Structure 1
Amino acid sequence: MGWFGIVFLGLVIGLAGWWLHPLRRSGAKRAGRFWLALAAAVLGAVVAKMLGNVTGAFHDGDSLEWLACALVALVAVSVAVGLAARR
């Protein structure tokens, strides 16, 4: 999939996760949470790819790589937006 695909996947997951998160509507600092969600998703996807490659759990382009990166990015967005909304 390559690094460009991972970054793109993280951006898409971050955008979708921010848009669908129920706590995004509360508060006035929504633009900051938007960028936080995108950064958290990209960081989560990159970390998942790196850990998978280091441990040998999957190789570049495997279906497991897509699934692991998407799930870790979604969890990262949920935690980041949820914590930011509580402030």
Structure 2
Amino acid sequence: MGWPGIVFLGFVIGVAGWWLNPLRRSGAKRAARFWLAVAAAVLGAIIAKMLGNLAGAFHDGDSLEWLTCTLVALAAVTGAVCLTARR
């Protein structure tokens, strides 16, 4: 899985995280929250891939890479959405 795959994975996780968020239906900041969720997921997946490759934990295309990038992207979306919900 190369960089386009990581970006696509992050985009899909971000859209799913935004869609499953109960605050999705509220008010005027829907578009901002959507792009924040997508950006957080993509950034989380990219950081997980870079750190995993630097540490030698996995190589491109490993199952562990997919799992790690997915879990970090989910955590990033959760954190970003929780922080914006407090406002």
Q: Tell me which interval the TM-score lies in, with the shorter structure as reference length.
A: over 0.9
Q: Secondary structure at the match of 2:57?
A: coil
Contact 1:58 1:64 in 2 (8 A): yes
Q: Which residue of 2 aligns with 1:41?
A: 41
Q: Which residue of 1 aligns with 2:3?
A: 3
Contact 1:10 1:45 in 2 (8 A): yes
Counterpart AA for 1:65: E
Q: Which residue of 1 aligns with 2:66?
A: 66
Counterpart AA for 1:75: A
Deviations 1:16-61 (A, max 9, x none): 0111122333443111000000000000000000000000000000
Length-normalised TM-score, structure 1: 0.94
Q: Which residue of 1 aligns with 2:30?
A: 30
Q: Which residue of 1 aligns with 2:85?
A: 85
RMSD: 1.0
Q: Secondary structure at the match of 1:58?
A: coil
Distance in 2 separating the partners of 1:18 and 1:4: 21
In terms of mean alpha carbon deviation, does 9-18 or 76-85 score higher? 76-85
Q: How many residues align?
A: 87
For structure 1, the 5+ residue unaligned runs are none
For structure 2, the 5+ residue unaligned runs are none
Q: Secondary structure at the match of 2:65?
A: helix
